[in-house]
Amino acid sequence: MTQTDQPSADHRPAYLRGHVPVLDGVRGLAILLVVALHVATGMSEPTAGFDWWVWQFSMAGWTGVELFFVLSGFLITGILSDSREAPNYFKSFYGRRVLRIFPLYYAFLIVMLIVWSQRRPEAPFGESAWWHFAYLQNYLKEDSGIRALGVTWSLAIEEQFYMVWPMLVYLLSRKAMIRLCMAIFLLSSVLRAVLYYQVDPWWMIGSYAVTPTHLDGLTVGALIALVVRTPGGMERLGRWLRITLPVGVIGTVACMVAAGDARPRIMPTGLIGMSFFALMFGSLLLSAIRAEPGSILHRIFASRFLRVWGKYSYAVYLLHIPAISLARNYVAPALWSKPRYPTLLGSEIPALLAQNVIVAAISLGFAWLSWHLLERHFLALKDRFAIAKPVEHAERQ
């Protein structure tokens, strides 16, 4: 930190200090979108009509990951900014992140490797296991072969973000960080375009899953967290919202209409759509935290239903693919009949909805067990990494 940098005051409104219930609701919406996507991937694409529209809406559930990125950027940057002067800044942040993320992730990874070795001994997981243990699987050219691990690419991006972002927040002033967020947002989009045209766009490594090309959402969330802590920041963000919300929504719809498909790796969605999604979900996040208590938006995101899903979202994210396999193979195999699902009044959508309900129930059950048997015991140790109060507001040389 330079000599001209002074400790940054926090100008957040009082209702954004401490736990903010609507953020749990935003997280709940994100995980429900992701679950809906992966349930729908087992359905053959309808040819037309109502079924096609519902299927496309479900396939758009991949954007739930983009909402997760925006929310993570907002929360993590806020935590780092608020604890910047703490003497245990790095120890506190990384200690608490490890307790939150590592236990379930590595337990899940090890169980998946054991199950895979028993069910498919002729197809060993091989070297790709180490990429997963190191949170580098988003750079793998080939899929690991274990479908349940496919969702972990986004966790790898977040972990890599955590390795760099705390140091930047520590070293740079808030004003410099705001400029950096804007620059990264633009550069990430440009780099995605470069890689898209240089690498086969259907490769995950091409233009979608590598970290430098997928920083739009994280930086939008980070930008909101930084600006809201400046004098008049919330009012300024409110003025920005009048532009970012329509631009994000119109851009998102335009990309999907132009592509004729809601899936992420169809042009132009896979190229410029990510930036519009980041703006749209950043606007949604901002609208949620600005919503007046009692308003429709506040009631939606503060609802117990979404907040429960938000509480268990991490475990649901990791465990919903095994839940789908359990439901498809053992609980209700008739609902997953091929080549087409059972119909009601000529539509497959009732079967798809039933699948979602069953998978949601199993996923939430798995997550509840994970929370009580594993996660909460590690989270009970977070107090050992509590943020210490600064001894004094002396300048760091």
Q: What is the pLDDT of residues 87-127, one digit of tens each?
A: 999 999 999 999 999 999 999 999 988 887 777 665 556 66
pLDDT at 364: 98
Q: Which residues contact 287 (CB under 8 A, 6 or more apart)?
A: 241, 245, 297
Quote the Cα angle for 220-226-230, to 5°: 140
Q: Where are the alpha helices (DSSP H) in the chain?
A: 21-40, 49-59, 63-82, 89-119, 128-133, 153-171, 174-198, 204-207, 216-227, 233-259, 274-290, 296-301, 304-311, 313-326, 349-370, 376-379
CA dihedral 352, 356, 357, 361 (to 10 degrees): 150
Q: What is the predicted pLDDT for the residue at 15? A: 66
Report pLDDT digits (tens) over 262-319. 887 677 777 888 899 999 999 999 999 999 999 999 999 999 999 999 999 999 999 9
From 46, 119, 48, 73, select the one nearest 341 (Cα to Cα): 46
Distance CA 32, CA 348 (A): 20
Cα within 13 Å of Cα(318), Cβ side: 22
**Tokens 């410029």 label which residue?**
272
pLDDT attached to residue 8 = 57
User: What is the pTM assigned to this prediction?
Assistant: 0.92
CB neighbours (10 Å) of residue 5? 16
Question: Which amino acid, residue 18?
Answer: G
Instruction: State CA 265 to chain mean position distance.
Output: 18
What confidence tens digit (pLDDT) does each residue in 211-261 have? 999 999 999 999 999 999 999 999 999 999 999 999 999 999 999 888 888
Note the pLDDT tens digit of each residue in 174-210. 999 999 999 999 999 888 888 777 765 554 455 678 8
Boundaries of every domain in the chain: 14-385
Amino acid in position 302: A
| Under 8 Å between Cβ of 189 and 195 | no
pLDDT, the chain, mean: 89
